[in-house]
């Protein structure tokens, strides 16, 4: 069983402790601005097909998704990192340090999300099995995680990005097949396993030209949405987008 102390060691969430993730590359970079709304809209769309009332966001960091989900659902979070969790609670969000209290009280959720969390976990099967027990029958597991087939890793073979990505807090990156296999082994039915492209062409060009992240900020005016949309569509079709989006139900 993974306790909250173990989770703190095994998992490095998107929290305030991760704000310096680009140190060594000369700058700090922001995540894509549309992430929050894109995720929220996807869950709202899922709620038109399956009953979703209670959501648990695992590795919620400073609670941006918990806060957004709370606009339409009952939303709680899991965040082992104390400073991030304190920020959440001071903002009036319901965020727990670990899974134990939820398990003890027999809490059940309709949807459990992990946004850029599973790649930080050394024992993902144990975590997923515990999360399955917190889902209602036919409840939904939602995972967003980097794609090990990312074009910068495989197509362009960009050494700087490879060094940037293969760091100690990423014990595992998943291909679509590997992620589906993991989730299925843990007792879920995969109903959606798609690629999405979070970063645009300007980001990739900046990596290739400068060997640095942040192109989506520095060169944001270089391409319009039509160019980035077409680029993203082609990367997804080729299976080399930067991110995987998996939706599964409890068996």
**Residue 3 confidence (pLDDT):** 41
Please list the residues that pair with 55 across neighbouring strands: 75, 111
Determine the 3-state secondary structure of 2 from DSSP.
coil
Spatial strand order of the sheet with 109-115 comes to 95-96, 74-78, 54-58, 109-115, 135-146, 243-250, 188-196
Which phi and psi angles does 199 have, rounded to 5°?
-110, 145
**Residue 31 confidence (pLDDT):** 82
Determine the 3-state secondary structure of 171 from DSSP.
coil
**Residue 168 confidence (pLDDT):** 59
Rg of the chain's alpha carbons, rounded to an integer? 18
Mean predicted lDDT score pLDDT of the chain: 89
Domains of the chain and CATH, by start: 4-250 (3.40.50.150)
pLDDT tens string, the chain, 251 residues long: the values are: 334 343 444 444 333 333 344 444 444 567 888 999 999 999 999 999 999 999 999 999 999 999 999 999 999 999 999 999 999 999 999 999 999 999 999 999 999 999 999 998 999 999 999 999 999 998 999 999 999 999 999 999 999 999 888 875 788 899 999 999 999 999 999 999 999 999 999 999 999 999 999 999 999 999 999 999 999 999 999 999 999 999 999 98
At 199-227, the pLDDT tens digits run 999 999 999 999 999 999 999 999 999 99
**Residue 27 confidence (pLDDT):** 44
pTM, to two decimals: 0.89
Kind plus residue range of the DSSP H or E element containing 246: strand 243-250
């Amino acid at each position: 069983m993974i306790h909250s102390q173990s989770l703190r060691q095994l998992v490095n969430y998107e929290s305030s402790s991760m704000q310096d993730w680009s140190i060594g590359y000369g700058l700090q970079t922001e995540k894509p601005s549309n992430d929050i709304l894109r995720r929220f809209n996807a869950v709202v769309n899922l709620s038109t097909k399956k009953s979703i009332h209670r959501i648990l966001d695992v590795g919620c960091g400073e609670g941006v998704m918990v806060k957004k989900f709370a606009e339409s659902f009952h939303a709680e979070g899991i965040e082992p990192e104390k400073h991030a969790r304190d920020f959440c609670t001071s903002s009036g969000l319901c965020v727990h340090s670990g899974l134990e209290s939820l398990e003890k009280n027999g809490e059940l959720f309709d949807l459990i999300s992990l946004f850029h969390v599973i790649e930080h976990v050394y024992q993902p099967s144990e975590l997923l099995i515990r999360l399955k027990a917190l889902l209602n029958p036919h409840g939904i597991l939602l995972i967003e995680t980097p794609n090990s087939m990312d074009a910068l890793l495989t197509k362009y073979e960009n050494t700087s990005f490879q060094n940037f990505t293969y760091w100690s807090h990423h014990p595992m990156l998943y291909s679509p097949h590997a992620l589906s296999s993991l989730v299925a082994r843990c007792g879920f039915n995969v109903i959606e396993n798609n690629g999405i492209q979070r970063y645009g062409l300007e980001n990739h060009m900046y990596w290739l030209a400068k060997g640095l992240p942040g192109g989506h900020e520095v060169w944001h005016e270089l391409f319009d949405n039509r160019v980035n949309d077409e680029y993203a569509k082609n990367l997804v079709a080729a299976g080399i987008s930067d991110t995987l989006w998996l939706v599964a139900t409890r068996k």
